[in-house]
């Protein structure tokens, strides 16, 4: 069972606990303030870098989708099943939209960039929760946890970098109070339509709803199936995901 820790109450919001944990908070801050997103919000990211990101993201989404589809087989909880299926539908739609974006004349390429090491490492981390799980058997909560840094980080990065002074007000209200927050966000004026659409995607009502429901389902999965996952392992898994996200975006800037 979850090891007793004086600084954590199992009834507490797990996501907020994790992003404010001293072993995670500095890296979470780096993640949601990443230069890659800063340049997108400023409309200054070279299009070749964005195209490179799309190439890596295409591979990432394939693996992410695989894990979500396998996760669907691990639970019979209706709330979790409904959420997982919604995420699968969102990923499929994102894959279709990504294809449309790549057809844009400004960023169209003859061939895709090869998958870089950062993307390989990140997707291996995701897939390991299904194909090579700790204890030899996939765990619903552990798998949710592996998937969660992507879910929570992109929305938070876009919100944070648009209006840094209100970042945690916006993020925590969506996670804790379940208040609709996207109406409080005005997407910055970005001349590049591709970048503007990318930012808008992560700040729209549906994305904020997915963020909130993801937090609720992670908490539910923890309640139903955390099994032998101890708190130090939870922190380690989430921290690893954050570090891999940072490396993923670093690689999209360096194109290596």
- Using DSSP, state whether 253 is helix, strand or coil: helix
Radius of gyration of the chain (CA): 18
Count of domains observed in the chain: 1
- Average pLDDT of the segment spanning 88-98: 84
**For residue 4, is it within any domain?**
no
Block residue for tokens 């099994």:
227
What is the rounded average pLDDT for all residues in the chain? Answer: 84
**For residue 114, is it within any domain?**
yes
Buried b (16+ CB within 10 A) or exposed e, 147-184: bbbbbbbbbbbbbbbbeeeebbebbbbbbeeeeebbeb
Write the Ramachandran bin of 112: left for phi over 0, alpha for psi from -120 to 50, otherwise beta. Answer: beta
Residue 102 pLDDT grade (very low, low, confident, very high; cuts 50, 70, 90): low
Q: What is the pLDDT of residue 67?
A: 98
Q: What is the pTM of this model?
A: 0.86
**For residue 48, is it within any domain?**
yes
Lowest mean pLDDT across 41-50, 77-86, 169-178, 231-240: 169-178
Residue 100 pLDDT grade (very low, low, confident, very high; cuts 50, 70, 90): low
> What domain range is 120 assigned to?
14-254
CATH number of the domain to which 200 belongs = 1.20.910.10
């Amino acid at each position: 069972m979850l090891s007793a820790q004086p600084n954590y109450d199992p009834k507490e919001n797990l996501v907020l606990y994790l992003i404010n944990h001293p072993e995670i908070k500095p890296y979470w801050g780096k993640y949601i303030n990443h230069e890659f997103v800063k340049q997108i919000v400023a409309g200054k990211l070279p299009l070749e870098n964005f195209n490179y990101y799309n190439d890596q993201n295409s591979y990432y989404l394939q693996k992410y989708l695989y894990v979500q589809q396998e996760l669907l087989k691990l639970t019979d909880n209706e709330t979790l099943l409904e959420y997982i299926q919604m995420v699968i539908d969102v990923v499929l739609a994102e894959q279709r939209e990504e294809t449309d974006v790549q057809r844009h004349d400004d960023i169209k390429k003859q061939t895709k960039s090869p998958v870089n090491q950062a993307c390989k490492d990140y997707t291996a981390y995701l897939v390991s929760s299904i194909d090579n799980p700790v204890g030899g058997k996939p765990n619903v909560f552990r798998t949710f946890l592996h998937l969660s840094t992507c879910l929570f980080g992109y929305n938070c990065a876009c919100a944070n970098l648009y209006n840094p002074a209100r970042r945690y007000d916006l993020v925590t209200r969506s996670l804790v109070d379940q208040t609709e927050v996207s109406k409080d966000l005005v997407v910055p004026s970005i001349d590049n339509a591709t970048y503007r659409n990318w930012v808008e995607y992560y700040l729209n009502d549906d994305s904020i709803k997915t963020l909130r429901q993801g937090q609720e389902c992670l908490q539910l999965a923890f309640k139903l199936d955390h099994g032998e996952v101890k708190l130090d392992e939870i922190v380690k898994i989430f921290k690893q995901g954050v570090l891999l996200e940072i490396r993923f975006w670093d690689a999209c800037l360096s194109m290596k």
